[in-house]
Amino acid sequence: MSVQDTEFFRPLFTALAANDDSQIQIAASTFNAADLADFIEAHPEADTGIRLLNALPKEQGGKVLGYIGPTPQTLIAQQLPTRSLTELVTAMPSDERADFFQLLDEQRQHSLFQSLASKEREDLRRLASFEEGTAGALMSSDYAMINTGVTASAAIDLLRKTAPDKETIYHAYVVDEDHTLLGAVSLRNLITATPSASVNDLIATGLVTANTHTPQEEVARLISRYDLLALPIVDHDNRLVGIVTYDDAMDAAEAEATEDMHKGATVGKLTGTLRDASPFSLYRSRVQWLVILVFANIFTGAGIAYFEGIISEHIALLFFMPLLVASAGNAGAQSATLMVRGMATGDVTVTDWGRLLGKETLVATGLGLTMAAAVMVVGLLRAGPEIATVVAVTMIVVVMVGSLIGMLLPFLLDKLKFDPATASTPLITTIADVSGVLIYFSIATALLDIS
């Protein structure tokens, strides 16, 4: 923790030093739950953070625990007595409770599960049963619900009683006796309606929904596309089972973007955050692809060895080799990045590959000609017209080949049921290196033998 952070949390340190729960609660009331989580994360193994969590009112403590990262959460779970942990977990939002439960070892899960009330136990069992990365695993069961046929006045009374336990009450979902989702009514419409008005006359139908198996990235896209505060989640019979709020969807989108960035650099999935990751987990997440790419680059050396004769006759060719293969890799990486991001946002689908192939060919040709004109000047000054011609022609070809490989590889991976994000910069660069060397010296052999 920095000096600035220490000064920021000075009231907490003072209250904790006095060892008075009332002073701690007063000091903590001036901080946001996320800030209190940061404070506790800075002291995960020390008594300071645990004492603060124990001193907070359980509702506030449950909210703070939900903001804490996965690794500190597991440390806290190991240090807290089962009774204290149960009280905090009970106060957590239902979706965060399920995520926290999944982090615990089997023994701790069993003891915590047995300590929970039957309502929380059943809710936890249901939410924890959904596959990670789906709407079911992301959703919360703490939503505002109104039965069909009630009056606006009765609906407001119900919301007033249940509001403290709900994620959001700006929209209440209207269901029938079978829990089938009929629509939603906004808090604004309830307040402005006459007390005797029926909610059936106020509800908005045709809601945007998702089912429990919808991927979380699609959930985030729907919420962003339609500017929703929450997205209702239904089962296969259109029964309302939960909601995904805007903040949870954005957290999921951030996690997906981080994962895609890691894949784009051939880094495996990290457990927890970079700050908390152990050296071994960082090593394990990076070593696999690096070893694979080492062997892939052997083909580059083999290509150079195969053209040893032309290289020995025209040693100036070696001067331009790094420039050409790097240009191919850079063009391919640009193209792959555009395609992967377009596919991730839904802007591009596999069916678009034909149209995009023609467009990319035109763009790559223009890029290749421009870069060839620039490099030919260097070739003329450095090695004469013959080598300059070889370099210029090669530049056009390798930029086109690199761009097209970068564009097509994400589509191919998607067709083979692999994540298109695997079409990473190192992978594209390695393919471009091998193909660039072969193209370069093949063109050199053809043109220079003629001359």
Q: Rounded CA gap, 195 and 193, in Å?
A: 6
pLDDT at 3: 42
Q: Which residue has the higher pLDDT, 214 or 7?
A: 214
Buried/exposed code over 289-313 (b: 16+ C-beta within 10 A; e: otherwise): beeebeebeebbeebbeebeebbee
pLDDT at 151: 93
Q: Which of 182-191, 259-268, 294-303, 353-362 has the lowest mean pLDDT?
A: 259-268
Distance of CA 173 to the CA centre of its chain: 29
Handedness of CA 274, 279, 281, 283 (dihedral sign): positive
Q: What pLDDT does 302 receive?
A: 81
**Within 10 Å of residue 120's Cβ, how many Cβ atoms?**
18
Q: Where are the domains of the chain?
A: 3-129, 145-254, 297-450
pLDDT of 197: 93
- List pLDDT tens digits, range 263-311: 655 555 656 566 666 676 766 766 676 777 777 778 777 878 888 888 8
Query: Whole-angstrom Cα distance, residue 133 to residue 67?
Result: 19
Alpha helices in 270-352 (DSSP H): 279-296, 298-306, 308-313, 317-345
298 vs 268, 394, 425, 434, CA distance in Å? 23, 22, 18, 9
Fold of 3-129: MgtE N-terminal fold (1.25.60)
Q: Which residue has the higher pLDDT, 271 or 146?
A: 146
Q: Is 210 helix (H, G, I), strand (E, B) or coil?
A: strand
Sign of the alpha-carbon torsion through 418, 420, 422, 427: positive
| Average predicted confidence (pLDDT) for the chain | 84
Per-residue confidence at 74, pLDDT binned at 50, 70, 90? confident
Q: What is the mean pLDDT of residues 394-411?
A: 90
134-161: average pLDDT: 90
Do 324 and 391 contact (CB within 8 A), yes or no?
yes
- CATH of region 297-450: 1.10.357.20
Task: State both tokens at 350.
Answer: 């596999």
Q: Would you say 435 and 398 are in contact if contact means Cβ atoms under 8 Å apart?
A: yes
| Range 316-323, long-range pairs (CB < 8 A, 24+ positions) | 316/382, 316/383, 316/387, 317/387, 317/390, 317/440, 317/441, 317/444, 319/382, 319/383, 320/375, 320/378, 320/379, 320/382, 320/383, 320/387, 320/391, 320/394, 320/440, 321/437, 321/440, 323/375
Instruction: Tell me the CATH class for 145-254.
Output: alpha beta
Residue 451: its pLDDT value, please? 47
Quote the pTM value.
Answer: 0.63
Amino acid at 365: T
Confidence category of residue 108, pLDDT binned at 50, 70, 90: confident
When mean pLDDT is compared across 38-52, 142-156, 204-218, the lowest value belongs to 38-52
Residue 407 sits at the vertex; the CA angle it makes with 404 and 411, to the nearest 5 degrees, is: 125
